[in-house]
Chain A
């Protein structure tokens, strides 16, 4: 009896999620091997979508985007967490302020930074030329060498607060005797960071990194709002390519084929990551 009651409680949520996740995923698979009229065409869609050079470029851009973002998000987030873990006046306020970039809408972040990076009237170019860092203004968002680093910087700004707050929670759960043991051994603060704090928050950092990988693979908002993948496809990442295939050129079947490939790669990445993650604890402690 009891087992059925539990299932009844869970069922409504499961049905909704099943309808919205399992069904569409299966349907994507079907779409990827059919044409517009529903006839089976084998792997024609896959061939068609893999052939253009832009697909490879989008794939490389995606890797650049995800890993470039994550490295800085984790490093800056962890440093901020260490700062927020100190005791000082105004710490509560600083913790709240740190989270603001993460809470505001991605589209607001995108437009505000786009305005700040504006070539002629942007405050960034003004500050840099004014202080002598730059000789002349740079077209941050139109120059193909600067556009991706700038977008990555905006993405880092948006998400390092999340890393900071998660790592902070991990730091707060470190038992005091670990610090005391380190102090008895005469450890300096940075030695404490290296030998006590970082090893203790490693599980948190790995879990957060996994989330960041998934969010990175999912993030369309910032890039789409600022450059839509341009200039010259320099910032075109695979999710945006899928979106444009489907909703700008209305190639639903090719978009589905690309989705299947993307989904497969994402699953493999997540799977390898979880393997590595579950192998670590034994060796870490």
Chain B
């Protein structure tokens, strides 16, 4: 970084700060192995035959990589349907959360109104609520509304999980857009909504991406609400499908590992592509308070 560069130039005689390189090297290798080994093992297990999986001692590299497990997962199970359900629910819930969060954050960032601090606190309380404590009443509410086992049921419920933090992150992004820019546009005759959509949103694109990635990843991975509110295979999501594979007494580990790969790849790709913006959005909220 430039900061450390100037530090070294400004005080050339001082010893170079930081860890020595062997420690950095060992630490880095350790972190990489700890973080990635389970995925390597997952990938290797998914291309082994049953015999190779159940061998003692375990075989590192399969003699002939097989794609039977993937065939089983993709063509002989409900996983493709669950994949579709997951996509519909995650996209729907992320989209809805984004729209609500955009308006709410803009309201919080740009206006002053009665009870604003309390309303902001109320939104954060959503993040503090123990999930287990509201599953039962939520289930009953959804049943009354006829939303159990529907896409809309899960899409709505996921608002509780994603909306609070989305509002929180976006508010800090909107605050960072200079008010003067908006005022100039209003003087030129633009409406409030026009300002929001033509000026503020384009200027906070990194924040929007961070919120989208956060909401999508969270809903894609969510397990408990899906387990309770989606009991029919027409709405079950991928995490439930994976759990189904592994709860039976004779767990087909090859298929489980293949399904895990199928489930992880989209999320890993999404994350790696937008990694910088995502982390920026998260930590912006953390350091600004």
Chain A residues proximal to chain B, CB less than 8 Å: 2-10, 12-14, 16-17, 20-21, 23-25, 27-28, 31, 80, 82-83, 86-88, 90, 94-101, 103-109, 111-116, 118, 120-123, 126, 130, 157, 161, 165-166, 168-170, 173, 176, 179-180, 183, 189, 192, 204, 207, 214, 217-218, 220-221, 224-225, 238-240, 242-243, 246-247, 252, 255-256, 259-260, 262-263, 266, 270
Q: Does B234 contact A (CB under 8 A)?
A: no
Chain B interface size, as a band, is: 35 or more
How distant is B174 from chain A, measured CB to nearest CB, in Å?
Answer: 11
Complexed CA–CA distance, A170 and B282 (Å) = 12
Complexed CA–CA distance, A260 and B119 (Å) = 23
Contact in complex: A255, B136 (CB < 8 Å):
yes
Contact in complex: B123, A88 (CB < 8 Å):
no
Complexed CA–CA distance, A89 and B34 (Å) = 20
Contact in complex: B35, A176 (CB < 8 Å):
no
Contact in complex: B224, A220 (CB < 8 Å):
yes
Contacts of A176 in B (CB 8 A): 3, 7
Q: Taking CB as reference atom, which chain B residue is nearest A28? A: B137
User: Which of A118, A169, A260 has the most chain B CB atoms closer than 10 A to its own CB?
Assistant: A169
Q: Does B54 contact A (CB under 8 A)?
A: yes
Contact A111-B110, Cβ < 8 Å, known A86-B24, A126-B57, A189-B19:
no
Cβ-defined partner of A99 (8 Å) among B128, B136, B275: B275
Contact in complex: A13, B7 (CB < 8 Å):
no
Q: Taking CB as reference atom, which chain A residue is nearest B116? A: A6
Q: Does B84 contact A (CB under 8 A)?
A: no
Q: Taking CB as reference atom, which chain A residue is nearest B123? A: A17
Q: Taking CB as reference atom, which chain B residue is nearest A5? A: B111
Chain B residues proximal to chain A, CB less than 8 Å: 1, 3-4, 7, 11, 14-15, 17-19, 21, 24, 27-28, 31-32, 34-36, 38-39, 41-42, 45, 53-58, 100-101, 103-104, 106-108, 110-114, 116, 119, 122-123, 125-141, 156-157, 159-160, 163-164, 167, 192, 217, 220-221, 223-224, 227-228, 238-239, 242-243, 245-246, 253, 256-257, 260, 263-264, 267-268, 271-272, 275, 279, 282-283, 286-287
Contacts of B217 in A (CB 8 A): 103
Contacts of B141 in A (CB 8 A): 23-24, 27
Complexed CA–CA distance, A126 and B141 (Å) = 49
Cβ-defined partner of B112 (8 Å) among A6, A107, A122, A204: A6
Contact in complex: B160, A20 (CB < 8 Å):
yes
Complexed CA–CA distance, A86 and B107 (Å) = 40
User: Which of A4, A122, A130, A218 has the most chain B CB atoms closer than 10 A to its own CB?
Assistant: A218
Contacts of A113 in B (CB 8 A): 38
Contact in complex: A180, B116 (CB < 8 Å):
no
Contacts of A13 in B (CB 8 A): 100-101, 103-104, 123, 163, 167
Contacts of A82 in B (CB 8 A): 19
Complexed CA–CA distance, A111 and B112 (Å) = 48
How distant is B100 from chain A, measured CB to nearest CB, in Å?
Answer: 4
Contact in complex: A166, B286 (CB < 8 Å):
yes
Cβ-defined partner of A83 (8 Å) among B24, B35, B58, B110: B24
Contact in complex: B110, A6 (CB < 8 Å):
yes
Contact in complex: B136, A115 (CB < 8 Å):
no
Q: Taking CB as reference atom, which chain A residue is nearest B1? A: A87
Complexed CA–CA distance, A126 and B228 (Å) = 37
Contact in complex: B18, A87 (CB < 8 Å):
yes
How distant is A140 from chain B, measured CB to nearest CB, in Å?
Answer: 15
Complexed CA–CA distance, A17 and B110 (Å) = 21
Contacts of A256 in B (CB 8 A): 136-137
Contact A104-B268, Cβ < 8 Å, known A17-B159, A169-B287:
yes
Contacts of B34 in A (CB 8 A): 157
Given contacts A25-B137, A94-B31, A204-B287, 15 further A-B contacts (CB under 8 A): A3-B111, A10-B113, A10-B119, A12-B103, A14-B122, A31-B137, A101-B35, A104-B267, A112-B41, A112-B257, A115-B45, A126-B56, A192-B17, A242-B136, A259-B134
Complexed CA–CA distance, A6 and B107 (Å) = 5
Q: Taking CB as reference atom, which chain A residue is nearest B284? A: A169
Complexed CA–CA distance, A121 and B27 (Å) = 29
Contact in complex: A246, B139 (CB < 8 Å):
yes
How distant is A113 from chain B, measured CB to nearest CB, in Å?
Answer: 6
Q: Taking CB as reference atom, which chain A residue is nearest B120? A: A10
Complexed CA–CA distance, A220 and B107 (Å) = 35
Cβ-defined partner of A24 (8 Å) among B38, B122, B134, B227: B134
Contacts of B137 in A (CB 8 A): 23-25, 27-28, 31, 256
Contact in complex: A7, B107 (CB < 8 Å):
yes
Cβ-defined partner of B136 (8 Å) among A168, A180, A252: A252
Complexed CA–CA distance, A224 and B243 (Å) = 10
Contacts of A27 in B (CB 8 A): 137, 140-141
Cβ-defined partner of A116 (8 Å) among B3, B36, B38, B264: B38
How distant is B233 from chain A, measured CB to nearest CB, in Å?
Answer: 17
Contact in complex: B163, A2 (CB < 8 Å):
no
How distant is A180 from chain B, measured CB to nearest CB, in Å?
Answer: 7
Complexed CA–CA distance, A101 and B163 (Å) = 23
